[in-house]
Amino acid sequence: SPRGDARIPIVWRRGADVMTAELVVAEGWRVGELGWRKSVAEAAIGAHMGFGWALAVPAAERRALVIADGAMAVRAFFGKKPMGGAAFAAGLRPHHVITAVNGRSPDLSDRPFKTWFRMNFEPGQEITLTVRERDGSPRSISYRAPGVE
């Protein structure tokens, strides 16, 4: 489905008749929080994050890194074999705290983060993560978003 302004053809049957119409959608029509739906978070839509999960950073650590309330603060979970992910290959490590993706910083983690990522980024799109190092210094890590398998 389109991400911005679009005209979507619709075809359906009413008895023996084939009906057609066109659905016109405006920029920003994909609004809503779908992170609660496992079927969306796990669906083959949009881009893969390049790592397994985005785990919430505890409040005390957020404060220590001076990350504002309401801003993104997640840590990538890679699983047992992290070397295969695009983000790991680009330099993201388990100790990094991700504070923005392509300049956007919604306060999401876990399944809502994964859903947001998939609904906002396409496979092959350049992704730039803004991360904090252990000492709090910022760093950018860029990679091409893989597709969802």
Q: What is the pLDDT of residues 35-90, one digit of tens each?
A: 556 655 566 677 888 888 899 999 999 999 999 999 999 999 987 766 568 999 99
Structural domain includes residue 13: yes
pLDDT band at 113, cuts 50/70/90? very high
127 part of a folded domain: yes
Token pair for 146: 């893989």
Burial (CB < 10 A; 0-12, 13-18, 19+), residue 97, is buried
If you average pLDDT over every residue of the chain, what do you get?
A: 86
Q: Which domain holds residue 18?
A: 1-31
Same domain, 61 and 90: yes
Q: Which residue has the higher pLDDT, 6 or 148?
A: 6
Sign, CA torsion 97/147/23/111? negative
95: its two tokens: 């100790």
Handedness of CA 89, 92, 94, 95 (dihedral sign): positive
Confirm whether pTM is higher than 0.85. no
Total domains in the chain come to: 2
DSSP 8-state assignment for residue 61: H
